[in-house]
Structure 1
Amino acid sequence: MMKKLPVGVDGFEKIRTQGFYYVDKTMFIAELLENWGEVNLFTRPRRFGKTLTMDMLKAFFEIGCDRTLFDGLEISKETELCEEYMGKFPVISITLKSVDGKNYQEACAALRSVIGIEAMRFLFLLESDRLSEEERAMYRQLIEVGSLQSSVFTMTDAVMLTSLKVLSLLLSKHYGRQVILLIDEYDVLLDKAFQNGYYDEMVMLIRNLFGNALKSNADLYFAVITGCLRVSKESIFTGLNNLNVMTVTDEYFSDSFGFTDDEVKELLVYYGREEAADIMREWYDGYRFGERLIYCPWDVIKYTQALRRNKNALPDNYWANTSGNELVRHFIDKADQSTRDEVEQLIAGGAVRKRIRQELTYREIDSSIENLWSVLLMTGYLTTTGRVSAKDYTLAIPNAEIRDLFVTQVREWFGDTSRADISRIEKFCAAFPDGDAERIEEMLHGYLWDSISVRDTAVRRNMKENFYHGMVLGLLQSRSDWLVRSNAETGEGYSDILVYTPDKIGIVIELKYADDGNLEKGCADALRQIEERKYTAALERRKAAKIIKYGMAFWEKECRVVMGGQ
C-alpha cells in the first residue's frame, strides 16, 4: 500500500508508525553531535520542518525511546553513535508557537500551561527515591492546577522563571544523566507580544527563563532552539556566551531543513509524478541555505497531494497562503520610490545588494526599511544569490510562488493607496464614460510612476498583463454603483474588463503588454481583438445606450490608451 503524504503532520512517531512518507533527515543528529555547542539556535522560515526535526531529536535521545522508529533510516547505519546516544538522556521538549494572549497576563497563563503540561510527563518524580522531599515539593509546584476540574496551572511567576532549570535539575538527579532541552519556535511569542503591546514584559520574562535554563546550568547536556529570526542577544540571550547560531546563510546544516532536489525527485518518482519535476522546481525550489538550493517542504507535499488527484494540477501558493503575509505588505507600504524600483527589479527576476543584520530586536525590525530587507531574507520571502562581503548579500525572490505573492501584494497595495485619493480616482473613473482617452492615459501614467510595476522579459507575459489588469480593475471597482466584471465571458471569448454604468453606458477594455515597447501596435491589437471576438455582445444584450471600447497597452511604466469606434 502506498504511503500517505504527511500533510500537516509533524509528529515523528506518528509518521513512522502510521504509514506516512518520510524524507529522511536523521543524519541531522550525527551532524549536530559533531558540530554542537552547548546551546544551538537554528533559524529557518516557517513550514520548513523545524518542529518535525525537534520531535525527531526527542524520539532519538529520550530514555525509553522506541529504537525501531529509526530502523532503515540513515542514522541507524551509525552503529557506534546510536549505541552511545540513542535513548540515553532525559529530554525536556516544549514549543512556544501556541503561547498567545491579548495581554501579558493571558500570555503568561499560556506559557504556564506549556511548561506545566511538559512537566506532567514526568509524574514518576513524585515517587522518586533519588529526590529529597524538598525536591519533590519543587516538582509539585510545577504541576499544580487550580482544581481537579481545572487545567489552569497555578505556578507563580517566580516558579515559572526557574521552571526549566528546576525540571532539568530534578530529571538529572533522578536519572544520573544530564538533560537535553528542546525549545521550538522560541520567537513566536515575542512576535505576538510585540503585536499586542506587551513586548517589554515578555522580553524580560523570556530573558530570565532562558537565562536560568541555559546559562551555567550544570544539569544541561545541550539545548536546541528553533525560530524564524535570530533575536538580538541583548534582547533575549543576555550573557549567554555558549550560543551556537546557525542561520540561513551558514554552511553547516544547510540541507537539514527543507527538501533537496534529489529528495523531491525521489518523492515524485514514488508517487508516479516525476513528469512534474520541472514545474515543482520552478515554483517551490530556489531557497539558498548556505550553498545548497532547497525546496519548501510544505509546498512540495501540498502540490504532490494535488498531483495525486489530478496529474495536470496547476501549482498554487501553498506556503504563502498559510499566513496573512503582513510582512510583505508592510514592507511595500514603507517603500519609497527607490525601494519600489528595487521591488520591480526583484519581481522582474533581478537581484538587489543589501547589508543584512542577522541580529535584530522586534523594535528594530520596524524602525527602517533596511532592517525589513533582513527580515524578508530570514523569513523566506527572499533568498541570497551571493555574498559580497561579511555582511553584504545579493538578494532575490526564490521562486514563482513568492514572485506571484509579491505581485499580488503589490496589486492590493496599489489599489488601496489609489482608492485613498478619492478626488483623483473619481476623475479617473469619470473619464471612461466621457470617452476621454487622453485623460485616462495621463492619469494612468501618473499612477504607474507612483507605483511598483511588473517589467522585464524575465517575468512571463501573462504575469505582466495580470499586474496592469489588476491595477486598472482595482481603480474602476472603487465605483460601487458600476457593474465591473473581470475576464467576463462575452461573445467568443473573455474580455479583460467589462463595465456597465447606471446611465446604460457600456465599456469594454482590453489590455496588452508591449514586449517590444510598441504601444500603438499594442492598442491596435487590443481593439482588433474586441471586434473579432465580439466582446460587446453582453453589453448589447443589456440594451446599452452607448458602448465605448478602449485598447490599452503597457510597457514598464509607460502606457497608451486608444478609444475604438462607437
Structure 2
Amino acid sequence: MEVRMKKRVLPVGIQSFKDIREKNFVYVDKTEYVWKLSTDVKSYFLSRPRRFGKSLFISTLESYFSGEKELFKGLYIEKKEPERGENAWAKYPVITFYLSGGQYNEPDGLNNRLISTLTDVENKYDLEHADGDVSVRFEEVIKRLYKKTGRQVVVLVDEYDKPLLSTMISSPEQEEKNRELYKGFFSILKDMDEYLRFVFFTGVTKFTKVSIFSDLNQLVDISMNNEFSGICGITEDELLTNFEPEIDSLSDEQGISRKECLAKLEKMYDGYHFSKNGVGVYNPFSLLSAFMNKDFNSYWFGTGTPDILIKKLQKSSMTLPQITDGVEATEDELLNYRVEDQNPIPLYYQTGYLTICGYDSDFRLYSLKLPNDEVRYGFLNSLIPSVLGSGNQENPVSLRYMLMDLKNGNPESFINRLTSLFAAIPYPEGKAPEYEGEWSRQLFLILSLMGAYTSCEVHMAAGRADCVVKTPDYIYVFEFKLDKPIEDAMQQIDDKGYAIPYSADDRKLYKIGVVFSTEKRNVSDYKIS
C-alpha cells in the first residue's frame, strides 16, 4: 500500500507564531535567540528590513512570555527552559503594539492605534479602563497589570517606525506630529523599571530624534551584533536543514540540477549581512515565495515601492554607479538615521537595499553593496521613470530587442535602438538639465539593466572599459565619449588595452566607440571594428 507523505505548508506572509505551530506550517527554529535575549538585559532594539521576520519574532516572544509552553514542543528553548527552575514557563502580562497597519496619515491615526491596543489589553486582563491622554493611560495600564498579576510586564513594539516612514513623503507635517506623540508615549517606560520584565522594539529604521533612543538609554541596539546576526532571515544551514523537499521540487520544476538550483537561490536571494563577522542570511519572504511558486522571481521588491529611497538618491550627491559598485560608511552612520541628512547610505542599508560586505578595522569602515540580483535589478528598474522618463517603462524599444541584437552579432542595430531609446527620453518639466552627467546616468542605467539577462560589466570609470558585454558567440567592448571625436573612443580602447583580455577567446570580438552630443542629447557618432 502506497504511503502518501503529508503536504508541507510554507508560512509565506504568516506572522503569527501560534498559527504556524498549531497549523503545522514549516518553522525555522529561532527560539535560541528568545532564550538568549530573555536571560540577559531587559530592553532591546532590533532593526531589520521589511518582510524579514520581525513580526514573527515579536509574536514568538509574545507566546513565550505568555507561558504558552505547548507551542514550543521540540524547539531549542524547550530543552533550555528548565534551567530557570521555578520560573520556567512563567506567565507574564504582555502588551504588544503591532504598528505595521494603521491610518497614520490621519490626524488621530497613530493615537487611535495606540488606544486600540491599550483597550484590547484592558479587556483581556479585565482591567478598569484608565483615564487621561494616551501616555498617561499607557503608564496606568502597566501599573495595574503589575498590581493585578503580581508579575512584571512585557512590552513588545513591532514596526515602531511605520507611522514615521509612511508619512515622511506624503505628509511631513503629520510625520512630525506622530514623532511628537511618540516622545510622550514611550518615554514613560524610562522610569518604570520595577514594573517591567522585558522590552523589545523592532523597526526598519532607527530615527535618532525619536525619544525611545534618547530617553530609553538602557535600550540595547542588537541590530549589528554578531551574536544576533541570524535572528531574522534564513541562514545557509537553516536552508539546507529545513527545506530539502522544497529545493528538490524547485530544481525539478525548473529542469536544473540541485547544485544549480542552490546557486540560483544564492544569487537571487542571499547575500544579506547585518554585522561585520556575523552569519549571512537569505531574504525569508523571497525564499519561501520561490519555493511556494516553484519559480525564481522578484518577490520582496514587488511588495513595496521605494519612493523614499529614490527621492533620497536624487537629493544627494551620490551617483548611481556608487550605489551599484559599493560604498563605505561608519557604524554610527549605519545605525542612526537623521531625516535632514542628505546621505542616503543609512536608509539604504537599514531598508535592505545595501548590505555589509566587508570591514576595515583600522579605519572602522564598513563596505556595503547591493545584496543580490533581486535587489539589484528591482532597484534599477524602479529608477527608470525618474532617469529615463515614465514612458520608457513601456517603450517598445526594449532591452530585450537590444540584447537580441548583440546575441545575433548585430551591433549596428543595437546602436540604432539605443539612439531611439535616448530620443524618447523627455526633458524634465520647467527646464532641460545640463547634459553633462545626465547622459552617463541614463546610459549606465540602461547598460546595467542588461546584466539581468547576459554578462554585462559596466564601469564607466577611468582605467577600465566603459562596458563589456559577453554573449555565447560574441564579446563587445564599448567606450563612450561626450562631444569628442569618434577616433578618441577607438584610440582609448587600443591604447588602454581594453580588448586584450579577450584576444584568446574563441568568440568574435567587437570594439565599439560611441559619441554622445550635448546639442543633440543623443548619439551623434559611432564606429564598430
Residues 118, 554 of structure 1: CA spacing in aligned structure 2 closer, same or farther, 3 A cutoff?
farther
Tell me the residue number matched to 2:365: 392
Tell me the residue number matched to 1:515: 476
Structure 2 residue matching 1:299: 3-state secondary structure: helix
2: CA distance between counterparts of 1:8 and 1:228? 17
- The reply to whether residue 3 of structure 1 matches residue 8 of structure 2 is yes
The answer to which of 322-331 and 374-383 deviates more is 322-331
Aligned pair partner of 2:71 in 55, 69, 72: 69
Tell me the residue number matched to 1:206: 182
- The reply to whether residue 283 of structure 1 matches residue 264 of structure 2 is no
The answer to which of 292-301 and 273-282 deviates more is 273-282
The letter for the 2-side match of 1:402 is: V
2: CA distance between counterparts of 1:178 and 1:296? 35
Tell me the residue number matched to 2:160: 186
The letter for the 2-side match of 1:352 is: V
2: CA distance between counterparts of 1:181 and 1:228? 18
Tell me the residue number matched to 1:381: 353
Alpha-carbon distance, 1:216 to partner: 3.5
Cα pair 2:38 2:198 within 8 Å, conserved? no
2: CA distance between counterparts of 1:345 and 1:360? 21
Tell me the residue number matched to 2:491: none
What is the CA deviation profile of residues 30-74 of structure 1, one whole-angstrom value per residue up to 9, with x for unaligned ones? Answer: 21134x333211111111111111111111111xx3312111111
Tell me the residue number matched to 1:529: none
1: CA distance between counterparts of 2:515 and 2:360? 29
- The reply to whether residue 14 of structure 1 matches residue 25 of structure 2 is no
TM-score by structure 1 length? Answer: 0.67
What is the CA deviation profile of residues 193-243 of structure 1, one whole-angstrom value per residue up to 9, with x for unaligned ones? Answer: 434222332222212111113433421112111111112156443332211
Alpha-carbon distance, 1:101 to partner: 3.2
The letter for the 2-side match of 1:258 is: G
Cα pair 2:235 2:280 within 8 Å, conserved? yes
Tell me the residue number matched to 1:246: 222
What is the CA deviation profile of residues 65-117 of structure 1, one whole-angstrom value per residue up to 9, with x for unaligned ones? Answer: 33121111111121424653423322221212223233322332233223222
Structure 2 residue matching 1:357: 3-state secondary structure: helix
What is the CA deviation profile of residues 452-478 of structure 1, one whole-angstrom value per residue up to 9, with x for unaligned ones? Answer: 6059999847367799xxxxxxxxxxx
The letter for the 1-side match of 2:21 is: R
Residues 318, 82 of structure 1: CA spacing in aligned structure 2 closer, same or farther, 3 A cutoff?
farther
The letter for the 2-side match of 1:376 is: Y
How high is the sequence identity, in percent, across the aligned residues?
23
Cα pair 1:24 1:73 within 8 Å, conserved? yes
Tell me the residue number matched to 2:444: 453
Aligned pair partner of 1:163 in 132, 137, 160: 137
Aligned pair partner of 2:321 in 330, 341, 344: 344
Gaps of 5+ in 1: 126-138, 142-154, 308-312, 420-434, 468-511, 521-550
Q: How does 1:466-505 map to 2 (within 5 A)?
A: none
2: CA distance between counterparts of 1:10 and 1:282? 26
Residues 409, 555 of structure 1: CA spacing in aligned structure 2 closer, same or farther, 3 A cutoff?
farther
Q: How does 1:206-225 map to 2 (within 5 A)?
A: 206-225=182-201
Tell me the residue number matched to 1:258: 233
Number of residue pairs the alignment of both structures matches: 426
Residues 282, 382 of structure 1: CA spacing in aligned structure 2 closer, same or farther, 3 A cutoff?
same
The answer to which of 25-34 and 376-385 deviates more is 25-34
Cα pair 2:159 2:202 within 8 Å, conserved? yes
The letter for the 1-side match of 2:478 is: G
2: CA distance between counterparts of 1:32 and 1:94? 19
2: CA distance between counterparts of 1:206 and 1:251? 30
Tell me the residue number matched to 1:24: 29
Alpha-carbon distance, 1:265 to partner: 2.0
Aligned pair partner of 1:118 in 118, 121, 124: 121
Gaps of 5+ in 2: 1-5, 252-257, 393-414, 426-434, 459-472, 481-485, 487-509, 518-522
- The reply to whether residue 95 of structure 1 matches residue 72 of structure 2 is no
2: CA distance between counterparts of 1:223 and 1:280? 36
Aligned pair partner of 2:58 in 54, 59, 62: 54
2: CA distance between counterparts of 1:438 and 1:268? 44
Cα pair 1:328 1:409 within 8 Å, conserved? no
2: CA distance between counterparts of 1:466 and 1:117? 56
Tell me the residue number matched to 1:148: none
Cα pair 2:29 2:75 within 8 Å, conserved? yes
Alpha-carbon distance, 1:561 to partner: 6.4
Cα pair 1:283 1:400 within 8 Å, conserved? yes
Aligned pair partner of 1:230 in 182, 206, 223: 206
Alpha-carbon distance, 1:252 to partner: 2.5
Cα pair 1:39 1:214 within 8 Å, conserved? no
2: CA distance between counterparts of 1:359 and 1:250? 11
The answer to which of 375-384 and 553-562 deviates more is 553-562
1: CA distance between counterparts of 2:194 and 2:476? 67
Q: How does 1:406-485 map to 2 (within 5 A)?
A: 406-416=379-389, 448-451=439-442, 453-454=444-445, 460=451, 462=453
2: CA distance between counterparts of 1:242 and 1:13? 30
Structure 2 residue matching 1:354: 3-state secondary structure: strand
Cα pair 1:29 1:57 within 8 Å, conserved? yes
Tell me the residue number matched to 1:298: 285
TM-score by structure 2 length? Answer: 0.71
- The reply to whether residue 140 of structure 1 matches residue 117 of structure 2 is no
